[in-house]
């Protein structure tokens, strides 16, 4: 199990530097979690994950509480999770996760972004097979021994362990083992910086710098859309 690098992180995840976008994304995740499992984090693991992620990006407690109240209100916005698939320039696979209250608007916007970025929106299943869905946890490296942690967690679904560019430890599990790993970390008294379900490309494509830039411009365009939660691609 080697070191995990978040390739071209500063470009691919430029939107996470924009605090308002971070808070909006997590607010939608809270709304979806509350609707699915209720407002009590003690009985709603998904909501606990949202809390951890909110803390990780510095989302104020009052904003988190406000998001929960809105999710319980009579006039709450019902978000639908919709996935779109397509191709960026030069055949790069792109998968877009959205949370929307108006799928008609969202698909029109996503199609426009692909078209303006010289890509094309595909049909359901056209690129999903290119990505492997996994659970991902980030924890602080202070006080942790990578080899010892690996031995401790391998029986709890650990598939990959490494470090990101900021020196945080990254743990990955199979999709079905996400809850098992979350419980194992909780039992060890480890609070993740973030925890989420992610999609890892099974194969990657390397492009010349000028072509890669075209792909990343489309990715950035998609990430700026208010309905888009996450964008995945297989550019190396």
Pairwise CA distance, residues 25 & 229, whole Å: 6
**Considering only CA atoms, which of 150, 83, 88, 84 is closest in space to residue 114?**
88
- Over 50: is that where the pLDDT of 158 sits? yes
Alpha-carbon Rg for the chain in angstroms: 18
For residues 105-115, average pLDDT: 98
From CA 85, how far away is CA 118, in angstroms rounded?
Answer: 15
pLDDT at 75: 73
CA distance readout (Å), 89 to 8, 23, 224: 17, 30, 18
**What HEC string does 64-125 produce?**
HHHHHHHHHCCCCCCCEEEEEEEECHHHCEEEEEEEECCHHHHHHHHHHHHHHCCCEECCCC
Q: How many residues does the chain have?
A: 236
Structure tokens that stand for 189 in this block = 């008294």
Average model confidence (pLDDT) for the chain?
A: 91
DSSP-assigned states of every residue in 107-172: HHHHHHHHHHTT-EE--TTSSGGGEEEEEEEEE--TT--HHHHHHHHGGGTEEEEEE-TTS-EEEE
Measure CA of the first residue to CA of the last residue in the chain; give whole Å: 19
Interacting residues of 125 by C-beta distance below 8 A, sequence separation 6+: 85
- Based on the number of CB atoms within 10 Å of its own CB, is 97 exposed (0-12), middle (13-18) or buried (19 or more)? middle
Which tokens belong to 24?
Answer: 């909006």
Low-confidence winner among 68-82, 114-128, 219-233 (lowest mean pLDDT): 68-82
pTM for this model (two decimals): 0.86
pLDDT reading at 30 higher than 50: yes
pLDDT at 77 (0 to 100): 84
Residue 56 has pLDDT above 90, yes or no: no
Give the DSSP per-residue string, 175-210. Answer: GGGHHHHHHHHHHTT---SEEEEEEEESS-B---HH
């Amino acid at each position: 199990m080697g070191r995990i690098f978040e390739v071209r992180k500063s470009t691919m995840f430029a939107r996470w530097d924009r605090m308002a976008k971070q808070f909006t994304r997590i607010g939608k995740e809270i709304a979806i979690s509350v609707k699915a499992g209720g407002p009590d984090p003690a009985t709603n693991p998904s909501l606990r994950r949202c809390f951890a992620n909110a803390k990780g990006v510095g989302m104020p407690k009052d904003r988190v509480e406000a998001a929960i109240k809105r999710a319980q209100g009579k006039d709450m916005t019902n978000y639908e999770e919709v996935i779109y698939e397509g191709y960026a320039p030069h055949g790069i696979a792109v998968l877009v996760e959205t949370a929307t209250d108006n799928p008609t608007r969202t698909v029109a916007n996503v199609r426009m972004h692909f078209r303006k970025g010289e890509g094309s929106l595909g049909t359901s299943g056209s690129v999903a097979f290119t990505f492997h869905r996994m659970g991902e946890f980030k924890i602080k490296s202070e006080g942790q021994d990578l080899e010892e942690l690996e031995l401790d967690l391998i029986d709890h679904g650990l598939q990959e362990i490494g470090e990101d560019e900021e020196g945080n430890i990254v743990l990955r599990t199979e999709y079905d083992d996400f809850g098992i790993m979350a419980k194992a970390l909780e039992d060890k008294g480890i609070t993740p910086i973030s925890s989420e379900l992610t999609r890892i490309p099974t194969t990657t494509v390397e492009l010349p710098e000028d072509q890669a830039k075209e792909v990343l411009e489309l990715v950035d365009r998609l990430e700026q859309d208010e309905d888009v939660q996450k964008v995945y691609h297989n550019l190396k």
